Amino acid sequence: MRLEKNIKKISVVLLFALSAAPSFAQDLLARQAPVDRRAKVVDPIELQDLKVKEEHENPAADLYGDFDNKYVHKATPIPNHIKIDCRHFCMPTPSRVVTSNFGYRWGRQHKGLDIKVYIGDSIRCAWDGKVRIVRYEGAGYGKYIVVRHYNGLETIYGHLSAQLVHEGQEVKAGEVIGLGGNTGRSTGSHLHFETRLCGVAINPAIIFDFRHQDIVSNFFTYDEDKIDDMSAEATRLRGKVGNGGYSRAEVRGEVAEAKEDEPIMIGTPSEGGIHFVKRGETLESIARKRGVSVARLCQLNGFSKDTKLKPGQVIKFS
């Protein structure tokens, strides 16, 4: 009993000593540096609110500096290596039909993907962000929208029939910001979709898989030395769906899944066929289905015969 009491006493003393010492030290510090004392008054929650407010007024300020609508492609120094968080996204359209790829086309660079949509189809914002530009360009984008996202990317939506947002408006991923159309330099209604980082156009197929209506991965790492190879690879894997052979249901997103059975031919047939791996498929079963040997599949894809395939994986078969 006595022992217990003593322990209690000791702990009270200890507690006092522990709590008293730091506050005494803080008082000393504060006396030496009045700035510290002032800083202590600011509620940490207030500071956080201020940061959030700044971020909302000027998304990705670290990369872009100011937020203004002066230039469509605002070129700012791009880091050699930067990781972008692509989560919390929304596909801009349920259309699975890519009608034109990123890259060289008709003697000029095509800086985005063309996705088949019909006039009046909803076009949705890819991530949370702030609308930077809502404008019309008769010889190019037509009616278009530029959104700067908090993750550092900018997206551009072109050839719209209607723009439903205004400059400076904060938007959420999935919010309908415009309607599909055929305005500007466009033959046939479609969405011209661009993803840009510090003004540099990035092949959207590196980030978005329209055919499977998903992002390619949760994070996209921009690496100056690798970006061209990544772009070519993305086009090879997620490029054109046939030669305009698409159904209205596919465009409207009314089909539950991409037709996994059909090989997607990209460019000329000599460039090879691609197989989307389904659940339960093995190298053997795919080899049988495609009429090639397992050894050939391994050679084309850099596999060993024991390589385990994952559903959704894309492999070459010719």
User: 192 or 316: whose CB is closer to Zn ion?
Assistant: 192
Q: How far apart are CA 148 and CA 73, in angstroms?
A: 11
185 and 140 Cβ atoms separated by less than 8 Å: yes
Residue with tokens 């996209």: 220
User: 89 or 144: whose CB is closer to Zn ion?
Assistant: 144
CB of 107 to Zn ion, least distance (A): 14
User: 114 or 128: whose CB is closer to Zn ion?
Assistant: 114
CB of 179 to Zn ion, least distance (A): 17
Q: How far apart are CA 149 and CA 67, in angstroms?
A: 11
CB of 204 to Zn ion, least distance (A): 11
Paired residues of 241 in beta bridges:
none
88 and 82 Cβ atoms separated by less than 8 Å: no
- Which parts of this chain interact with Zn ion (CB under 5 A)? 114, 192
Judged by DSSP in three states, 65 sits in coil
274 and 314 Cβ atoms separated by less than 8 Å: yes
Q: How far apart are CA 306 and CA 312, in angstroms?
A: 18
CB of 111 to Zn ion, least distance (A): 8
> Cα 83 vs. chain centroid, distance in angstroms?
11
User: 113 or 266: whose CB is closer to Zn ion?
Assistant: 113
User: 83 or 185: whose CB is closer to Zn ion?
Assistant: 185
Spatial neighbors of 254 by CB under 8 A, at least 6 apart, are: 248
Nearest to 190 by CA among 243, 136, 114: 114
User: 194 or 281: whose CB is closer to Zn ion?
Assistant: 194
Continuous segment of H or E residues that includes residue 251: helix 248-251
CB of 191 to Zn ion, least distance (A): 8
User: 114 or 154: whose CB is closer to Zn ion?
Assistant: 114
CB of 192 to Zn ion, least distance (A): 3
Spatial neighbors of 198 by CB under 8 A, at least 6 apart, are: 63, 64, 74, 75, 76, 77, 78
CB of 100 to Zn ion, least distance (A): 6
CB of 201 to Zn ion, least distance (A): 11
Nearest to 206 by CA among 95, 313, 102: 102
Residue nearest Zn ion, CB atom distance: 192
177 and 146 Cβ atoms separated by less than 8 Å: no
User: 110 or 236: whose CB is closer to Zn ion?
Assistant: 110
Judged by DSSP in three states, 66 sits in coil
Specify the DSSP class assigned to residue 223.
Answer: E
CB of 193 to Zn ion, least distance (A): 8
96 and 103 Cβ atoms separated by less than 8 Å: no
User: 74 or 116: whose CB is closer to Zn ion?
Assistant: 116
